[in-house]
Structure 1
Amino acid sequence: MTAAGTDTTADALRFGYGTNGFANHRLDDALAVIADLGYSGVALTLDHDHLDPFAPGLAVRVDAVARRLADLGLGLVIETGARFLLDPWHKHAPTLLHDDPTLRIEFLRRAVAVGADLGAEAVSFWAGVRPDTVTPAVAWDRLVAGCAAVVEAAEAVGVTLGFEPEPGMLVEDIADWRRLHAALGSPARLGITLDIGHCRCLEPRPVPDCVRDVAAHLVNVQIDDMRRGVHEHLEFGAGEIDFPPVLAALREIGYRGLVAVELPRHSHAAPTVAAHSLEFLRTAAAADTARPARCSASTGAPSGVRAPDDDRRVE
């Protein structure tokens, strides 16, 4: 095992791992494994067993996590994609698009506060899927209003936000993010979270070009493999992405944030998957980036994205 963050090369990428891929571990144990494997940071999803922001004694628990992160030498981003934290019956509900988004806004405000206390590099969030009963115009207005409240909270405590385009959600690609950013008045505190797999899934441009396109606003990177038109987070090598050019693009733009592995369905084998993932990324980062990309070219955005959960297509 190597100590966390051992690569001191000036332009070395900082790899992290998401705790949503360690759902069967206690948070302390997950952080220890991630550090012992040699990761530089962690993407911490606030959830029932991983620093629940609604459970009693939050301040004491946040202090304990801060000490643990410092002891392990781990950087941090906060993720807010917990599936059933707010509603035990409905995944991700309520979102900013629902009739009553109050609980979601409160959750995001708490995430911002936790991020401030932990010195998080970014707090990441997304729009949500538009409910069938809500028109696109109403959903958009709700999204802008909700995001404005979160931006206000972040500005008050000096926290950077990363808004993530997510396939099938109201904001699903980079173009949608730009529209939202403009609608909010282009706040300096609102950057973009870029999921590399999502770029392969539905963006019209090659993945390295997506990285370059958002360079000025990139505050958080999630990384995983994926196939065109299918929103399924895959282990590296199981999808279609050629990673050396992607990692080269991140170095080229001078990105210094975490590049965190996002494999939320692999908790059953978390230590093994995390070890293999870091080995893959280090090998890809050291590879000859001048060689032709294997599958980086795109042929236009797909007409719909299939979600493996229920084999439906999200338009």
Structure 2
Amino acid sequence: MTRFTLDGFDPDAFVAATLAEDCGQAGDITSAAVIPAEARFAGVMDTREAIVVAGLPLAEAFFRTLDPEVRCTALVADGEKVRAGTPLMRIDGLARAMLTAERSALNTVQHLSGIATLTRAHVDAIAGTGAILLDTRKTIPGLRRLEKYATRMGGAQNHRMGLWDAAMIKDNHVAVAGGVAAAVDRAVAAGIARIIVEVDRIDQIAPALAAGATHLLLDNMPPAMLREAVGIVDGRVPTEASGGVRLDTIRAIAESGVTYISVGRLTQSAPAADIGLDFALA
């Protein structure tokens, strides 16, 4: 398996910090007391439910950090959709190291695969409509790059990575600035190229576009209102439906003709995937 690389993310620091959190000052006192230093275990990581896989290279990094000679064989790839019972990775290494790294490796793969799986369900629900699924900034602090990687494995596109890569003028900005047009005018004057403007009423669309919005976020609009908004915009800028989107409502939203649909629950509410690691004597 190749080393995990991700722009803006340091896998070595992540693995080290996670293991340090789990091991503390004393280390894995259970494995040290119970398992002979020379003992070896072979095992298989598998999934107990149908999932979209994400995070396997990071799981290997946990095991390899504690046993550089471990043999890890990935049996599937990140982004692959697999059935319940599918083996994901074979592992053969020093038993103490494998058992110490087990929980950190599983936590990571379970969390990221859960996000990827929920994301794929939303992508499948809007298949054929032309709408593109986006994630949001509703992520666990410190894990944004990883969680947004997982949404990509599930088939979504990343929205803003942070506050720095586009302006997003929301209701509170509008309230303080004194109106949609005033807020957009200031963003334009600041030289910002990408200006996303949240609107929750039809009458806000024209002033936002006139002032220079490059993308409209249509907030909490029902499908009929979304269709009306898309018609008014008439392709001049991308449109994005957002707010309260659920798996059972996303299809109707997509059929309104919006360019994008953003869903915070992809990262905010995804349940962990049911994945285990079963060891047996090598």
| TM-score normalised by L of structure 1 | 0.38
Higher relative contact order (CA 8 A, sep 6+): 2
> Which structure has the bigger radius of gyration?
2
| TM-score normalised by L of structure 2 | 0.42
